[in-house]
Amino acid sequence: MLGLARFSLEECADMYRRFGSEVFRQNPLRGPATSTSLRAKISNLICSATDTEGVHTLLDDLLAPNVYFRFNPMLSAQVSLDENRPGALDLLQRDTQNYLERNRNKLARLCLVLGAERSSLNQKQYFDGLLVQVLGQV
């Protein structure tokens, strides 16, 4: 049975001296605890949150065909998010236009999927299937 007791500060300090060192002893089977710096933890968090290739691979492997489409043009120059040079937008538009021309079949397939008429029953089945694939449940 669990009971409550009051101990003086001196009694607590005495119990800690007697039992505390035994309670927090290192487990010889696990070895010494390692700590990761805060900088490393933040870096790992950022990497996992911005890993577009990992997300692409996961979705491409798990989802049914014609459900997930990725359009990711290769750029001819590195462009930062806060780019403000006059010709940068023109360069991005040209690279994107070239990419879409090379991937015309993929774009046409996406248009067919998005433009397909679905009955109410088909829509429900489609979204239920997506929920199962994404969440693992209905």
Q: What is the pTM of this model?
A: 0.50
Domain for residue 136, yes or no? yes
Residue 138: inside a domain: yes
The whole domain housing 110 covers 70-77+85-138
Q: What total number of domains does the chain contain?
A: 2
Does residue 12 lie within any of the structural domains? no
pLDDT in tens, 51-87: 888 888 888 898 888 889 999 999 999 888 888 888 9
| Segments in the chain below pLDDT 70 | 1-7, 12-35, 137-138
Answer yes or no: is 31 within a domain: no
Write out the two tokens for 24. Answer: 């927090």
